[in-house]
Amino acid sequence: MTDVSIVTPVYNEVENLDQLGEKLHAALSSCGRAYEVLLVDDGSSDGSWEKMLGLAKRHPHFKLVRLRRNFGQTAALSAGFQNAQGEIIITMDADLQNDPSDIPALLKKMDEGYDVVSGWRKNRKDRFLNRRLPSIMANALISKITGVALHDYGCTLEAYRREIIKNIRLYGEMHRFIPALASWVGGRICEIVVKHHPRRFGTSKYGISRTGRVILDLMTVKFLLRYSTHPIQIFGKIGMLFGIPGILMLFGIFFAHIGYNCGIESLAGVVEIAKRPGWILLPFMLVLFFTQFLSMGLLAEIQIRTYHESQDKPIYVIKEIVDS
């Protein structure tokens, strides 16, 4: 039985792999736990796969997964999760900026009963303006929107309990939101300070260019965390922002005409304004928007029910059952 699985995406890191293999072997051999290391080749083109084959020959605990092309870090991690056998799954980068010597500390924290232990690169060795500053702002935004306060959502060095990660499906750039998604299924989450080293070989594959995609995925995560089982609530609320003013305007115009026809001369100005094309169309457009959002919410409700029922997927996650 495997206790610990290390999942490491690899994309054009040929110069780092020998050191990575030795450091992982040294850190894990001293833990006294049955382990495996899954290196996931995410379509490398620099000879990384051949180097990985050599590592697997030297270290029998190493397993290799090769993707047909470069699918991205989230897909590589997902492939690793699918093939991992350990009860605890630890993710880390292959660029040696994460330190394998932090793995025992992650495991020790997991032994305290946590389901997710996230690394915090407190003394991060990256450029400030284009790496650290955007990260600081992104972490604050993500923590605020998801309600799960972490200092470093971008740190790949994290530990997950298998029973938590198996209930999470990853798409886009959503690997960085795993702690927030784990909170949705009731996972206990904590954060510990980990070491961070400057990159010695190769170049970073990720930068500020991913900001737009991360923001869009953050919107998806917020929707999943709060409205995934009742989407009518969000679409209905948006619809009412349009519908209530539209209905009030229609009633106002209707009663203004009635009052004016009944001899209330003070309403003449209101009636004249209401006769203008824009004021006639606006309330009907607002009511139309309300109808559209309401329809979207109802269709989403049907899709959510189809999704759960077709897969026999419950809307809850059981932690344990005690049967005396």
Rounded Cα gap, residues 206 and 204, in angstroms: 6
Q: Closest Cα to residue 78, out of 165, 185, 182?
A: 165
30-66: pLDDT as tens digits: 888 999 999 999 999 888 999 999 999 999 899 999 9
CATH architecture classification, 4-227: Alpha-Beta Complex (3.90)
DSSP code per residue over 94-145: SSSSB-GGGHHHHHHHHTTT-SEEEEE-TT--S-IIIIIHHHHHHHHHHHHH
Model confidence, pTM: 0.74
Q: Give the pLDDT score at 324.
A: 44
pLDDT at 187: 86
Q: What is the pLDDT of residue 283?
A: 81
Secondary structure of residue 19 in the 3-state scheme: helix
What is the per-residue pLDDT for 318?
Answer: 55
Q: Are 90 and 163 in contact (CB under 8 A)?
A: no
Which segments of the chain have a pLDDT < 50?
A: 324
Tens digits of residue pLDDT in 196-247: 888 887 666 555 556 667 677 777 777 776 776 677 887 888 888 998 888 8
